Amino acid sequence: MAYPASTHLPARPAHREELERDESDSHILLKLFALFAGIAVAVILPIGLWLAVSAQGARDDAEKAAAKAASAGSMADMPGMAAMPGMTGATAKGGTYATPSFAGLAPANADALAMRHAAFPAALAPAPAGAVAHVTLAMQHTTVSIAPGIRYDAWTFGDTAPGPVIHVRQGQTVAVTLRNDGPMPHSIDFHAAQIAPNVAFGDVLPGQSKTFTFVASTPGVFMYHCGTAPAFVHIANGMYGAIVVEPSNLPAVQHEYVLVSSEWYLNSAGESAPASLDLTKANEMTPDWVTWNGYAHQYKEHPLTADPGDTVRFWVVDAGPSLTTDFHVVGAVLERAWLNGDLVDAPQHDIQTAPVPAGGGGVFDVKIDKAGIYPFVSHSFASVNMGQVGLLNVGHVAGTMSH
């Protein structure tokens, strides 16, 4: 070998040093490992304990909540609720479960049924003359159609959901007579009224009537609804409607339509027998149907109409009970938009989509010059899929449009 000795000899101690270093390294590693293991045990053990305790706590909480739902929260304890299977889905330990979605379900003859359905009148009727507008509302339990071939055991003002549109002039006194033809207490809450709710909005017992008055001092388009507890259930079951309080200074338009948005939460398909409320779906805000004026896409088969050059005014209320409506007219802009139904201030102009909150309203003017078919929707598109779409036919053109 040609290696110089000097290069070879020093290599040995160096090698030994390496070995020693390796040994001492492994000692350090062992010590580090032991230290780490110690720390790990010290840290992980309490975490594990904590997790175990919290899991037990969560189980206890869940059991308590389920027990509470099964006893105190059970709608079956309330009058008129016992016959609602969708509302008694609580179990001792499992909580409540929603029925599967029935969204979009349609029988084979759905088109024919849709054509036969008498659309809820959306055209705004004139306000009564005189200083007092008399409004009589019967409250009842009745079966309504909410989509082609789909029925629902509703609670209603009048015999429809939404209830009748009320149209008064700003400053008019509204004299309300309520008659309860239903089997349980109901009431009415007018968002248009500034009035002591414990007096005017109190329960009317079955078979009884009551009358109260309020002055429609604030212009706008307002929701009315049953306020009997739980109002959520009374609204979800159909007890809502719109009241238009019209000021004298709005620009004239050629057509005025009232649209009430609402959701339906079904505990069955509603085909062979009427559905009723699935409270779990309602709590989860996962409707089966979302409608304009209570019936899925009814203004597709029975379009609202206008002529080219007309301005159309939409009075929109979102009855909820929970979802917001994002009002939009396809192929148009909202030329005047009184957001939140604020008719005291100037409108906004030329906006594409206007929010209408649950329990709120909005007034929207749309001027359309070209003949055609213009869908109006909530641009929260899941709602369109569940039925919240209608058509404005401008110029009485042939055909239809889906969206």
Give the H or E element holding residue 132: strand 132-147
The verdict on 233 binding Cu ion (CB under 5 A) reads: no
The verdict on 221 binding Cu ion (CB under 5 A) reads: no
Question: Is 241 or 347 the residue whose CB approaches Cu ion more closely?
Answer: 241
Q: Is 279 exposed, middle or buried (0-12, 13-18, 19+ CB in 10 A)?
A: buried
Closest residue to Cu ion, judged by C-beta, is 226
CA distances to 123, 395, 403 from 399, rounded to whole Å, are 22, 12, 14
Whether 385 and 365 have beta carbons less than 8 Å apart is answered as no
Minimum CB distance to Cu ion, residue 160 (Å): 15
Strands 255-264 and 311-320: parallel
The verdict on 234 binding Cu ion (CB under 5 A) reads: yes
Dist CA 60 CA 309 (whole Å)? 65
The verdict on 161 binding Cu ion (CB under 5 A) reads: no
Q: Which of 151, 167, 186, 336 is in the footprint of Cu ion by CB under 5 A?
A: 186
Choices 7-15, 85-93, 208-216, 237-245; region in contact with Cu ion by CB under 5 A: 237-245
Question: Is 148 or 220 the residue whose CB approaches Cu ion more closely?
Answer: 220
Minimum CB distance to Cu ion, residue 360 (Å): 10
Question: Is 203 or 335 the residue whose CB approaches Cu ion more closely?
Answer: 203
Size of the site for Cu ion (CB under 5 A): 5
The verdict on 317 binding Cu ion (CB under 5 A) reads: no
The verdict on 228 binding Cu ion (CB under 5 A) reads: yes
Q: Tokens at residue 371, please?
A: 């003949």
Residues 239-278 interacting with Cu ion (rule: CB under 5 A): 239
Whether 315 and 168 have beta carbons less than 8 Å apart is answered as no
The verdict on 226 binding Cu ion (CB under 5 A) reads: yes
Minimum CB distance to Cu ion, residue 185 (Å): 7
**Which residues have a Cβ under 8 Å from the Cβ of 209 and sit 6 or more positions away?**
177, 178, 179, 180
Dist CA 361 CA 337 (whole Å)? 11
Q: What are phi and psi of 112, to 5 degrees?
A: -65, -40
Question: Is 192 or 296 the residue whose CB approaches Cu ion more closely?
Answer: 192
Dist CA 325 CA 223 (whole Å)? 14
Dist CA 355 CA 171 (whole Å)? 27
Minimum CB distance to Cu ion, residue 216 (Å): 16
Question: Is 224 or 374 the residue whose CB approaches Cu ion more closely?
Answer: 224
Choices 62-70, 162-170, 183-191, 305-313; region in contact with Cu ion by CB under 5 A: 183-191
* Interface residues toward Cu ion, by CB under 5 A: 186, 226, 228, 234, 239
